[in-house]
């Protein structure tokens, strides 16, 4: 069995599974297979398919069927309501049986059956048995009551995804409706039984995009799939049963509806943005909305660890749930923990955000920047610009290109709800508190609702801001003039200061990427960013390439020079087994250690087992995950470092 993880989005992953010349793509569906009256499951929704035997019952020792690609070797007797002493007694027995059965079934092909249970501790104990035996296929049953209990569902799935290595594949054997697939995939299910559309068919239910209807209630055609074209769907009688051929067509349509959802989900993960799709489909049932909120609340660390730090795709702010997106939260955290106003600064100017991204290309910010350009060059180095925005909070000008600062789109109505206000104030207060020693003058060049935010921050900080656009639009000549005047008042008394704009841009970026203080380690004064049209800006340090800024994501990629410097800091590193790196991929099996701060898409450095820097690369999974995983690729090598 070959497992290849390609991308992830929250707890969901897009991956490939290969065995016996068959390749399936995850997430996918399971459907029944009957051969000589013997039943099992097929896995896969493309031409290629794998098969998996039926789960074993709890008591009887059944002869293992090794005919299928994947074979169940045990079912955990862990039903809700069972006393924990009984569960533990049975666990001891099953543990031994699993060890024996693993002699007959290769580890990568073994599967076990689990289900919701009353005690999280017991669940963890069971998951420990699964992961320590390197069992990679875990099926879930008895899940349906949890569809009316999102808290329990999220706790159950969250615990599984947190305890089991990320290369474990989760199969949901309980037949759930298609409308639950987006959130359940995001929570970590990799394969779904397609039982529900068939059951719905038997009840003459016609599945629609966001639910279903009794077929006799359909008044107009809404689907044009090949089955629906043949099925005269309108005006089916309520009392009469569907003919066999009509029922077959209905089943075909319902299966299509189910598969459509699944494929859309897979497309979304391929684009590493399942989150947007989940938010778009959130309102098909109450479960999805509640489960997403709870996932964000309880499992935020795992979701963040499995969400790309760097993307070029836009983030649409669709619902209130968007405030808690992993990408947003991670950005906020990095600003709070890794951003510090440079100690040379004396003035902070706070600007409102603009709809156009990056901000500096918007009409309003062009006016702001023009106004700042009018300040003498040898004083400009004292000024720090901060942009206030929802839901990201505070964005230092230097980081305006960074994902998702330049990528999010929120309806601008001037209305901020309480959550947005709290988030923004919290970020601003945090950034300014850390700069307390600098004795900064804060100029709030904002109006309307932004004034209120700044005032709350002032109170919390016990500071006084100077308001320069309180009564006029910030873009107005009057306001801009007032801002310049206030700036000059402070700057006049200060000596001239030298100012390397490129360096000041790179230090916070490197800090944002690798941790506070790293920027100064990587970059020193003799530095220049060279830009050419259609090329990403390249950094040169003492004439040598020191990295590239990826304009679409805002990410800094390392060169040998900066990689070597980062290596001295033991940050964003992966240590792999052996002396030399082979090929262009780091596989989980070779990973000895990795910085737990690493997130998918982060730039990383790769050491050999004796600690020598061997390559620069890009992470596919988080540092925590790559250490726990035992199969599949975990990082790409982008540049090898010559000894």
Partner 1 sequence: MTTPIKGIFTEQICQLRKEALHERKARDFSTTIANWIEKDHLLKGPGDALVLILNSQGCSWGLGKEGGCSMCGYSNETSEGITSAHLIAQVKTALEEFTDKKFQAVKIFNSGSFLDESEIPSDAQIAILEMISSLPNVSEIIIESRPEFIIDKNLQKLTKILKNKIQLEIGIGLESSNDSIRINNINKGFLFSDFQKAVSIALKHNVRVKTYLLLKPPLLTEKEAINDTIQSALDAIKAGSRSISINPVNVQTGTFVYHLWQNGLYRSPWYWSLKEVIQVLWKKIEEENLTDKIDRILSDPSGAGTQRGIHNCRQCNNQFIKNLKEYSIHQNPVILDAIECSCYNVWKELLDQEQDSRDLTIHKTEYAMNLLK
By the criterion CB under 8 A, which residues form the site for partner 1? 32, 39, 41, 54-55, 57-60, 75, 77, 79-83, 85-86, 89-90, 113, 141-145, 147, 173-177, 179, 193, 195-196, 198-200, 202-205, 207, 211-212, 214, 241, 285
CB of 96 to partner 1, least distance (A): 16
Q: Encoding tokens for residue 479? A: 């306001």
Q: Encoding tokens for residue 287? A: 């479960």
- Cβ closest to partner 1, residue 286 vs residue 412: 286
Question: Which residue's entry shows tokens 């070779």?
Answer: 590
CB of 137 to partner 1, least distance (A): 15
Pairing state between β 50-52 and 38-43: antiparallel
CB of 94 to partner 1, least distance (A): 12
- Cβ closest to partner 1, residue 85 vs residue 610: 85
- Cβ closest to partner 1, residue 211 vs residue 376: 211
Is the Cα torsion angle 146, 148, 149, 154 positive or negative in sign? positive
CB of 621 to partner 1, least distance (A): 30
Alpha carbon 176 to its chain centroid, in Å, reads 24
- Cβ closest to partner 1, residue 90 vs residue 460: 90
CB of 393 to partner 1, least distance (A): 38
- Cβ closest to partner 1, residue 176 vs residue 483: 176
Q: Encoding tokens for residue 565? A: 């410097």
CB of 259 to partner 1, least distance (A): 17
Whole-angstrom distance, CA of residue 556 vs CA of residue 547? 7
Beta-carbon contacts of residue 217 (< 8 Å; ≥ 6 apart): none
Whole-angstrom distance, CA of residue 476 vs CA of residue 482? 10
- Cβ closest to partner 1, residue 251 vs residue 264: 251
CB of 242 to partner 1, least distance (A): 9
- Cβ closest to partner 1, residue 41 vs residue 339: 41
Angle 598-607-621 from CA coordinates, rounded to 5°: 25
For the chain, how big is the Rg over CA atoms in Å? 28
Q: Which of 574, 611, 610 is nearest to 593 (CA)?
A: 574
Beta-carbon contacts of residue 218 (< 8 Å; ≥ 6 apart): 206, 233, 234, 236
* Cβ–Cβ under 8 Å, residues 548 and 560: no
Cis peptide leading into residue 27 (ω within 30°): yes
- Cβ closest to partner 1, residue 199 vs residue 355: 199
* Cβ–Cβ under 8 Å, residues 468 and 482: yes
CB of 54 to partner 1, least distance (A): 6
- Cβ closest to partner 1, residue 98 vs residue 395: 98
Beta-carbon contacts of residue 330 (< 8 Å; ≥ 6 apart): 304, 307, 309, 599
- Cβ closest to partner 1, residue 79 vs residue 318: 79
Q: Encoding tokens for residue 458? A: 């002032």
CB of 325 to partner 1, least distance (A): 28
Q: Which of 137, 141, 127, 60 is nearest to 91 (CA)?
A: 127
Q: How many CA atoms lie within 13 A of 73 on its CB side?
A: 29
* Cβ–Cβ under 8 Å, residues 186 and 306: no
Per-residue b/e over 84-108, b at no fewer than 16 CB within 10 Å?
eeebeebbeebeeebeebbeebeeb
CB of 265 to partner 1, least distance (A): 18
- Cβ closest to partner 1, residue 193 vs residue 390: 193
CB of 60 to partner 1, least distance (A): 6
- Cβ closest to partner 1, residue 141 vs residue 159: 141
Q: Encoding tokens for residue 583? A: 């090929």
**Which residues, in sequence order, are bridge partners of residue 547?**
539, 558
CB of 198 to partner 1, least distance (A): 6
């Amino acid at each position: 069995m070959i497992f290849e993880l390609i991308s992830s989005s929250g707890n969901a992953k897009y991956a490939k599974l290969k065995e016996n010349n068959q390749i399936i793509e995850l997430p996918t569906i399971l459907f029944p297979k009957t051969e000589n009256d013997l039943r099992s499951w097929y896995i896969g929704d493309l031409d290629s398919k794998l098969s998996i035997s039926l789960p074993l019952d709890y008591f009887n020792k059944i002869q293992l069927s090794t005919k299928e690609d994947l074979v169940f070797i045990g079912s955990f007797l862990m039903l809700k309501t069972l006393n924990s002493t009984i569960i533990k007694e049975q666990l001891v027995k099953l543990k031994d049986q699993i060890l024996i059965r693993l002699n007959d079934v290769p580890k990568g092909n073994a599967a076990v059956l689990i289900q919701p249970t009353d005690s999280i501790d017991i669940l963890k104990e069971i998951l420990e048995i699964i992961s320590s035996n390197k069992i990679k296929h875990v099926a879930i049953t008895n899940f349906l009551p949890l569809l009316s209990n999102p808290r329990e569902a999220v706790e159950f799935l969250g615990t599984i995804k947190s305890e089991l290595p990320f290369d474990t594949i989760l199969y949901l054997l309980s037949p759930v409706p298609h409308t639950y697939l987006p959130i359940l995939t995001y929570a970590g299910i990799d394969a779904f039984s397609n039982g529900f559309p068939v059951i719905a068919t038997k009840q003459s239910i016609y599945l629609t995009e966001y639910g279903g209807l009794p077929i006799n209630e359909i008044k107009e055609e809404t689907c044009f799939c090949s089955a629906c074209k043949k099925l005269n769907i309108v005006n089916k009688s309520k009392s009469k049963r569907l003919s066999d051929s009509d029922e077959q067509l209905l089943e075909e349509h319902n299966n299509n509806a189910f598969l459509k959802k699944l494929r859309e989900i897979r497309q979304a993960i391929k684009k590493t943005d399942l989150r947007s799709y989940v938010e778009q489909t959130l309102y098909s049932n109450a479960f999805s909305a509640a489960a997403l909120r709870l996932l964000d609340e309880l499992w935020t660390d795992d979701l963040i660890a499995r969400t790309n730090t760097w993307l070029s795709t836009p983030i649409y702010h669709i619902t209130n749930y968007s405030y808690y997106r992993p990408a947003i939260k991670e950005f906020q955290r990095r600003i709070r923990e890794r951003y510090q106003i440079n100690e040379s600064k004396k003035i902070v100017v706070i600007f409102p955000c603009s709809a156009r991204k990056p901000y500096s290309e918007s009409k309003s910010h062009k006016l702001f920047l023009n106004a700042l350009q009018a300040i003498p060059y040898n004083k400009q180095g004292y000024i720090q610009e901060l942009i206030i925005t929802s839901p990201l909070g505070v964005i230092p000008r230097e980081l305006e290109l960074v994902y998702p600062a330049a990528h999010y789109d929120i309806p601008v109505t001037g209305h901020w709800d309480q959550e947005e206000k709290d988030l923004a104030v919290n970020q601003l207060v945090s950034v300014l508190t850390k700069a307390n020693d600098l004795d900064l003058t804060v100029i709030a060049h904002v109006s309307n609702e932004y004034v209120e935010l700044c005032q709350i921050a002032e109170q919390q900080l016990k500071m006084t801001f100077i308001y320069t656009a309180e009564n006029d639009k910030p873009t107005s000549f009057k306001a801009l003039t007032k801002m310049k005047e206030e700036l000059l008042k402070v700057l006049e008394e200060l000596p001239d200061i030298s100012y390397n704009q490129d360096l000041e841009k790179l230090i916070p970026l490197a800090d944002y990427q690798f941790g506070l203080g790293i920027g100064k380690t990587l970059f020193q004064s003799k530095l220049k960013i060279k830009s050419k049209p259609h090329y990403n800006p390249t950094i040169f340090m003492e004439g040598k390439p020191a990295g590239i800024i990826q304009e679409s994501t805002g990410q800094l990629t390392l060169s040998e020079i900066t990689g070597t410097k980062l290596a001295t800091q033991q940050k964003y590193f992966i240590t792999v087994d052996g002396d030399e790196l082979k090929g262009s991929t780091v596989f989980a099996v070779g990973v000895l250690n990795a910085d737990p701060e690493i997130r998918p898409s982060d730039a990383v450095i790769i050491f050999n087992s004796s600690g020598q820097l061997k390559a620069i690369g890009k992470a596919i999974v988080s540092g925590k995950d790559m250490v726990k995983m035992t199969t599949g690729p975990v990082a790409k090598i982008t540049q090898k470092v010559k000894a």
